[in-house]
């Protein structure tokens, strides 16, 4: 199953979204500010609520999930 990141929300300098994928499958969540350099921010078992505390100087951030 292809992972889906859905229902994004932002509050109090935290960005949240849901990770939906194969049940009980492990996914690495990666973040990037330029779509070239990706950093892992968490590893989760689907389904999961992902929370990212954004740095204050980050104007935009992109996310992707990779099967672990």
CA-atom Rg of the chain in angstroms? 12
Residues 6+ apart with CB under 8 A from 37: none
Dihedral angle of Cα 30, 64, 31, 12, to the nearest 10 degrees = -110
Spatial separation of the C-alpha atoms in residues 44 and 57, rounded to whole Å: 26
Q: What is the pLDDT along the chain (68 residues), one digit of tens a residue?
A: 789 999 999 888 889 999 999 989 999 999 999 999 999 999 999 999 999 987 767 888 999 999 98
Instruction: Give this prediction's pTM.
Output: 0.87
Q: Where are the domains of the chain?
A: 4-67
């Amino acid at each position: 199953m292809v992972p889906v990141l859905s229902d994004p929300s932002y509050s109090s300098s935290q960005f949240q979204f849901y990770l939906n994928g194969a049940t009980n499958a492990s996914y690495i969540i990666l973040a990037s500010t330029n779509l070239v350099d990706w950093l892992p921010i968490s590893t989760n078992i689907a389904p999961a609520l992902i929370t990212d505390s954004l740095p204050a100087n980050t104007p935009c951030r992109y996310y992707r999930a990779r099967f672990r």
